[in-house]
Structure 1
Amino acid sequence: MQRTIRVPIADVYVPAKRRKTLDDARIEALAEEILQDGMKTPIMVRADKARWVLVEGLHRLEAQRALGESEIEAFHVQPRQH
């Protein structure tokens, strides 16, 4: 069972490939949902030296940032082994 951790939003690096998929309308709708019901699913991050790399949950991350949050719940996952 995975447990959640709290990570500073400022320490989450979003790879350029993921940033291209941002949808502002989706972020706004998700931010409203989070205000009403809270965030239901944590994002997924992996550790990379002094920062966290986003694996999954870009719109949740950006919605929390838009709401002025400084931290976010996340699952810490291990990097893929090739």
Structure 2
Amino acid sequence: MLQKNVFPIEKIRVPVKRMKTLDPAKVEEIAESILEEGQITPIRLREDGDRFVLIEGLHRLEALKALGEESVDGYLVHARLH
């Protein structure tokens, strides 16, 4: 079961491929929603040494950055061994 934690935004790396899908209008819309209701849906991350890589939640992360936030609620996803 995934457990929600708080992660420092500065330690999150967004893959270049993922950044290409960024829609500024969507970021603005989500930022407005966060101001009114707070962050409702956590992002998903995976560990990469002492940092984290974004898996899901680019627009939420960018909206929080735009609002000047330093942390984000998220789930740490562990890779399964086959």
Q: Superposed, which structure 2 residues align to 1:1-80 within 5 Å?
A: 1-79=1-79
How many aligned residue pairs are there? 82
Q: For residue 5 of structure 1, give the secondary structure of its aligned residue in structure 2.
A: strand
Distance 1:15 1:44 in 2: 13
Q: Percent of pairs identical after alignment?
A: 50
- Structure 1 moving runs of 4+ over 6 Å: none
TM-score (norm 1): 0.94
5+ residue gaps, structure 1, are none
Letter in 1 for 2:46: R
For the residue of structure 2 that corresponds to 1:22, the secondary structure is coil
**Superposition CA RMSD, Å:** 1.2
CA displacement 1:7-29 (0-9 Å, x = unmatched): 11010000011000000000001
Quickly say closer, same or farther: Cα 1:80–1:25, change in 2 above 3 A. Answer: farther
* Separation (CA, whole Å) in 2 of partners of 1:36 and 1:60: 14
TM-score, length-normalised on structure 2?
Answer: 0.94
Cα pair distance change 1:18/1:80, threshold 3 Å = farther
Q: How far apart, in 2, do the equivalents of 1:13 and 1:80 lie?
A: 21
Q: Distance in 1 between matches of 2:18 and 2:11?
A: 16
